[in-house]
């Protein structure tokens, strides 16, 4: 079991008696709260291509739910069905797919879903483009990935409803739950110091979408990639964060011991610098999928000594 998930389970009830649901503002709402001048700057930093991706995501917000086929297909073999659903998600374009149980604490406040499972989908952003962050290119790449994911989860949810089961798509412009905790529970990766999901193959260079459903699926187990130890030794994201939004120490937040990123500071930089992305750009896990980096990633997963050496090597080769 992944260390972060284990700490969450051990720390449950430590502060407030139970896992709490609290108000959560989307990045769009946070930008609006910064005031009209910052909102205008945010709009100025968009590009025609990124704007078209945003509009498509908004349009797909109308398609996240729909009528359920009254004739339900019987499920005789849950593992086989799970494999078929994952295969469909990959056919639609997802690079990473995992299934977890829906946790009430992952829902936004005052939102309720009549579902039991969450299918998490991950899609990487192009490495060369993200190394230019913050830039118009990297900002457009953010929204390209979000747009592709929105299309995937809308189609996947529609397919499940056609099978006679309730399903709702969740993407950047329409969602009722926190995507990163769901992806952690589904084994896609681990929560990192920068507050993003880090996956074994793509590092933090990943965007997420999800489908919640009552389809009886087999759940995946969380993974332990050594990210918690790696982030303790590294702190490169914190050093390169323009507003100091990434803390050095963990705290208990809603029964999870983690690095609590200052969302207000983060979104302020996001709004005025093409989505920022400096933490992603400088993370040592954000490397191309070459043989050397595959070996390095494998060593980092398996050995705490290797993690120490690799953080130092990254500073030597790519700068602090």
Q: What is the pLDDT of residues 245-280, one digit of tens each?
A: 999 999 988 778 899 999 888 877 877 788 899 999
- Of the chain, the end-to-end C-alpha distance in Å amounts to 32
Q: What is the pLDDT of residues 124-152, one digit of tens each?
A: 999 999 999 999 899 999 999 999 999 99
Average pLDDT, integer, range 216-240: 96
Higher per-residue confidence, 23 vs 224: 224
What is the 8-class DSSP label of residue 135?
S
The ranges of the chain annotated as CATH 3.40.109 are 21-213
pLDDT at 6 over 50: no
Query: Rounded distance, CA 33 to CA 269, Å?
Result: 14
Fold of 21-213: NADH Oxidase (3.40.109)
Q: What is the pLDDT of residues 43-61, one digit of tens each?
A: 666 778 988 998 899 899 9
pLDDT at 36 over 90: no
Q: What is the pLDDT of residues 141-185, one digit of tens each?
A: 999 999 999 999 999 999 999 999 999 999 998 888 999 999 999
As a whole number, the mean pLDDT across the chain is 87
Question: Which residues contact residue 189 at a Cβ distance below 8 angstroms, ignoring those fewer than 6 apart?
Answer: 96, 122, 183, 197, 198, 199, 200, 206, 223, 225, 227
Alpha helices in the chain (DSSP H): 3-11, 27-33, 36-44, 48-60, 78-91, 127-130, 136-162, 179-185, 227-234, 236-240, 263-272, 278-282, 291-302, 304-318
Give yes or no for a contact between 175 and 210, defined as CB atoms under 8 angstroms apart.
yes
Query: Rounded distance, CA 312 to CA 139, Å?
Result: 29
- The pLDDT of residue 12 is 39
């Amino acid at each position: 079991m992944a260390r972060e998930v284990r700490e969450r389970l051990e720390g449950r009830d430590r502060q407030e008696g139970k896992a709490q649901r609290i108000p959560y503002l989307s990045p769009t709402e946070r930008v609006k709260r910064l005031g009209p001048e910052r909102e205008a700057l945010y709009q100025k930093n968009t590009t025609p291509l990124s704007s078209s991706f945003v509009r498509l995501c908004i349009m797909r917000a109308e398609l996240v739910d729909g009528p359920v086929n009254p004739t339900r297909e019987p499920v005789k073999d849950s593992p086989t069905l799970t494999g078929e659903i994952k295969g469909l998600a990959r056919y639609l374009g997802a690079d990473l797919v995992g299934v977890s149980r829906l946790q009430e604490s992952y829902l936004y406040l005052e939102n309720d879903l009549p579902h039991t499972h969450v299918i998490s989908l991950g899609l990487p952003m192009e490495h060369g483009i993200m190394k230019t962050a913050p830039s118009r290119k990297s900002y457009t790449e953010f929204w390209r990935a979000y747009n592709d994911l929105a299309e995937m989860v809308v189609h996947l949810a529609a397919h499940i409803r056609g099978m006679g089961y309730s399903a709702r798509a969740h993407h950047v412009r329409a969602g009722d739950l926190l995507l990163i905790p769901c992806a952690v529970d589904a084994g896609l990766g681990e929560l990192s110091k920068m507050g993003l999901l880090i996956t074994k193959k793509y590092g933090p260079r990943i965007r997420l979408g999800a489908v919640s459903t009552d389809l009886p699926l087999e759940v995946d187990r969380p993974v332990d990639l050594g990210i918690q130890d790696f982030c303790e030794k590294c702190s490169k994201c914190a050093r390169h964060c323009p507003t100091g939004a990434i803390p050095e120490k963990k705290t208990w937040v809603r029964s999870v011991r983690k690095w609590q990123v200052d969302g207000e500071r983060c979104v302020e930089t996001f709004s005025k610098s093409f989505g920022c992305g400096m933490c992603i750009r400088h993370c040592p896990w954000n490397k191309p999928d070459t043989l050397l980096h595959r070996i390095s990633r494998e060593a980092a997963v398996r050995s705490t000594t290797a993690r120490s050496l690799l953080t130092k090597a990254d500073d030597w080769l790519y700068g602090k």
